[in-house]
């Protein structure tokens, strides 16, 4: 009974406790809600700060990008200006180089013209000296005749004295002529060698009484190559001087070319100035010269050559049993050696008069 009476009390107590727990939970809920709201506000503030930072950074990035683009454009412009300036400098250098090359060619051409004029002057001097020598010979002969007539009238002892004087005159005249012949008229070409070459050329050209030499090519001063200077030129004499002091070459009436062809010339010949000898072809129907852009002057035929000069005009070779040279001639022309190094090579145009 007592327990039944106490039930309402217990129920009331339990209800109060439940209500208290509910109120506490509500308070906790409100607190949690407040915390959540506060957290959301803080999150919003953080988000705002982030957005502001992002915006500020974006603005800063845009500024950096603009500055970067501006600097890049400035650099591009600078590079472009430098390229233009560089191209201008290159063009100026090229123009100056072309101008220098032109001036160099003009100087070389002028030098060649001067050499030709000097050579022609020396040629005339040689002719005058030859005339002078002939006149001296005539005068000497006249003196000898007069002396003989006088000597015939004089006594025998005077005849012996006059003979001695005449011998001295002859020795002086011979010495004078030798000095004249040994004079160098162009590089190391002496008057005697020049006259020898002229006589060899004129002996095969009976219709011509005289000739002169004009320089077409000189390996020591000419900037052009052999074919640029000598192609399509007829009546040419090639003079080769080696490092071993041999002087030889050849003459042809045929025109040089670069067309890989052989040409026949019945008046062609080779020569050795060291031995004072002229060599003609053994068979006049065979080739005199071979024309090829890869070579310089080439005497003989391809595969049966006599004198060949390399395209760079620095080296060459001599072969025996070609169209001109037998074994004995081969030994004479270059001292019996097949190869030679060129000290100087000249090609003369022979102008007949």
Q: Is residue 15 part of a domain?
A: no
Percent of residues, the chain, with pLDDT higher than 70: 74
pLDDT at 22: 79
Confidence tier at 34 by pLDDT (50, 70, 90):
confident
CB burial of residue 318 (10 Å; 0-12, 13-18, 19+) = buried
Residues 159, 201 share a domain: no
Residues 215, 136 share a domain: no
Confidence tier at 345 by pLDDT (50, 70, 90):
very high
Q: Is residue 270 part of a domain?
A: yes
Single out the residue in 163, 181, 199 at which a domain terminates.
181
Residues 162, 204 share a domain: no
The answer to whether the pTM exceeds 0.85 is: no
* 156 pLDDT more than 60: no
Confidence tier at 147 by pLDDT (50, 70, 90):
low
* 172 pLDDT more than 50: no
Residues 328, 209 share a domain: yes
Q: What is the mean pLDDT of residues 300-306?
A: 91
Question: Could you report the per-residue pLDDT of 116-130, keeping only the tens digit for each?
Answer: 676 667 666 655 555
* 144 pLDDT more than 50: no
The overall average pLDDT reported for the chain is 79
Confidence tier at 49 by pLDDT (50, 70, 90):
confident
Residues 277, 209 share a domain: yes
Residues 199, 318 share a domain: yes
Q: Is residue 28 part of a domain?
A: no
Confidence tier at 159 by pLDDT (50, 70, 90):
very low
CA distance 167 to 161: 10
> Which has the minimum average pLDDT: 11-25, 197-211, 240-254?
11-25
Single out the residue in 159, 181, 203 at which a domain terminates.
181
Q: Is residue 12 part of a domain?
A: no
* 6 pLDDT more than 50: yes
Q: Is residue 304 part of a domain?
A: yes
- Which of the two residues, 104 and 282, has the higher pLDDT score? 282
Nearest-Å Rg of the Cα atoms of the chain is 54
Residues 336, 199 share a domain: yes
Q: Is residue 333 part of a domain?
A: yes
- Mapping DSSP onto H, E and C, the string for the chain reads CHHHHHHHHHHHHHHHHHHHHHHHHHHHHHHHHHHHHHHHHHHHHHHHHHHHHHHHHHHHHHHHHHHHHHHHHHHHHHHHHHHHHHHHHHHHHHHHHHHHHHHHHHHHHHHHHHHHHHHHHHHHHHHHHHHHHHHHHHHHHHHHHHHHHHHHHCCHHHHHHHHHHHHHHHHHHHHHHHHHHCCEEECCEEHHHHHHHHHHHHHCCCCCCCEEEEEEEECCCCCCCHHHHHECCCCEEEEEEECCCCEEEEEECCCECCCCEEECCCCCEEEECCCCEEECCCCCCCCCEEECCCEEEEEEECCEEEEEEECCCCEEEECCCCCCCCHHHHHHHCCCCCEEEEEEEEEEEEEEC
Q: Is residue 198 part of a domain?
A: yes
Single out the residue in 154, 181, 208 at which a domain terminates.
181
Residues 206, 129 share a domain: no
Confidence tier at 270 by pLDDT (50, 70, 90):
very high
Residues 198, 316 share a domain: yes
Domain count, the chain: 2
Residues 288, 167 share a domain: no
Look up the domain containing 281 and give its range.
Answer: 191-352
pLDDT at 324: 95
Q: Is residue 155 part of a domain?
A: yes
Residues 174, 239 share a domain: no
135 C-beta neighbours (distance < 10 Å), count:
10
Residues 167, 206 share a domain: no
* 288 pLDDT more than 90: yes
Question: Could you report the per-residue pLDDT of 96-118, keeping only the tens digit for each?
Answer: 877 777 777 677 677 666 766 76
Phi, psi of 54 (to 5 degrees): -60, -45
* 141 pLDDT more than 50: no
């Amino acid at each position: 009974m007592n327990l039944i009476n106490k039930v309402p009390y217990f129920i009331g107590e339990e209800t109060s406790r439940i209500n208290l727990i509910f109120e506490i939970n509500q308070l906790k809920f409100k607190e949690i809600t407040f915390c959540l709201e506060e957290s959301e506000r803080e999150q919003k503030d953080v988000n705002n700060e982030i957005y502001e930072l992002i915006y500020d950074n974006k603005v800063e990035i845009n500024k950096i990008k603009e500055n970067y683009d501006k600097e890049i454009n400035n650099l591009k412009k600078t590079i472009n200006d430098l390229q233009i300036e560089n191209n201008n400098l290159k063009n100026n250098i090229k123009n100056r180089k072309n101008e220098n090359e032109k001036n160099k060619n003009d100087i070389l051409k002028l030098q060649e013209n001067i050499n030709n004029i000097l050579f022609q002057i020396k040629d005339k001097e040689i002719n005058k000296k030859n005339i002078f020598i002939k006149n001296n010979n005539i005068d000497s002969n006249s003196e000898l005749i007069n002396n003989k007539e006088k000597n015939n009238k004089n006594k025998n002892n005077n005849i012996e004295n006059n003979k001695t004087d005449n011998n001295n005159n002859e020795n002086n005249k011979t010495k004078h002529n030798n000095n004249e012949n040994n004079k160098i008229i162009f590089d190391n070409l002496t008057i005697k060698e020049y006259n020898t070459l002229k006589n060899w050329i004129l002996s095969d050209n009976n219709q011509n009484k005289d000739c002169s030499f004009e320089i077409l090519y000189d390996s020591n001063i000419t900037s052009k190559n052999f074919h640029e200077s000598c192609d399509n030129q007829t009546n040419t004499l090639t003079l080769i001087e080696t490092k071993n002091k041999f002087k030889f070459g050849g003459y042809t009436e045929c025109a040089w070319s670069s067309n890989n062809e052989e040409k026949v010339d019945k008046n062609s010949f080779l020569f050795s100035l060291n031995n004072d000898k002229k060599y003609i072809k053994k068979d006049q129907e065979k080739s005199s010269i071979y024309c090829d852009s890869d070579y310089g002057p080439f005497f003989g035929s391809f595969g049966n050559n006599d004198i060949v000069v390399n395209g760079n005009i620095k080296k060459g070779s001599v072969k025996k049993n070609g169209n001109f040279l037998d074994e004995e001639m081969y030994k004479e022309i270059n001292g019996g050696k097949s190869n030679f190094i060129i000290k100087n090579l000249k090609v003369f145009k022979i102008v007949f008069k």
